[in-house]
Amino acid sequence: MVSQQSDRCVVTHPIGPRAYTAQMNSDPVSIRSAKLEDLTVLAELNSVVQDLHVANRPDVFRPTERKAVIEWFRGCLERPNINIFIAEREESAVGYLIAVVHERSDAVFSRAGRAIEIDQIVVRPSSQRRGIGRALIRQVFYEAKANGIPKVTVKSWAFNLEAHATFVESGFTPEIIEFSRTVPE
């Protein structure tokens, strides 16, 4: 549910009510939780990031069908540990972020812990370099703090240097580096 209170957008979603409005490059961006009515716009925005992945790693990613992507987002919205934030300017969606809450139990080799993982983040190309990605990331940190979650994580493919710059600008530091190699024939 979204309502306006003065200059802030108040959002209600699975992990609690929150508000956030940012002023970036003289154009305000509002962040709100996605709802079922947003499935089509989420699928449209997803094509930006999916096309980038397909172009750079066609061995891993494939083109998607809009209907399947809409159903995938529907499933995400039904899961209580997932929240999808939408960034809007002038009442038009310009980006989104998928936040997944993970809880890990104590185990033989690791301690129990809670974290929010940024699973996907995308901003329309025409709206990039205007602070929208950073505003979406700030919203996740606001949620984490408000819910006593001590850590936010994000993974990114090595080719996505622009995303890496945004993550570093937002205070993230590398923790795990995964290497891979194709098995020779």
Q: Mind listing the domains of the chain with CATH numbers?
A: 2-169 (3.40.630.30)
pLDDT of residue 119 exceeding 70: yes
| Residues 159-175, mean pLDDT to the nearest whole number | 93
Check: CB of residue 123 under 8 Å from CB of residue 133.
Answer: yes
When pLDDT is cut at 50, 70 and 90, the band that residue 9 belongs to is very low
When pLDDT is cut at 50, 70 and 90, the band that residue 2 belongs to is very low
Report the pLDDT value the prediction gives residue 27, as an integer from 0 to 100.
66
Query: Distance of alpha carbon 70 from its chain centroid, rounded?
Result: 16
Q: Which amino acid is at 155?
A: K
| Residues 5-32, mean pLDDT to the nearest whole number | 50
Q: 14-23, 38-47, 84-93, 145-154: which range is least confident on average? A: 14-23
pLDDT of residue 96 exceeding 60: yes
The pTM assigned to this predicted structure is: 0.83
What is the C-alpha separation between 102 and 107, in angstroms, rounded? 15
Check: CB of residue 152 under 8 Å from CB of residue 141.
Answer: yes
- Concatenate the DSSP letters of all residues of 50-115 into one string: HHHHHHH-TTT-----HHHHHHHHHHHHH-TTEEEEEEEETTEEEEEEEEEEEEE---SSS--EEE
pLDDT of residue 8 exceeding 60: no
CA atoms 130, 131, 136, 137: torsion sign: positive
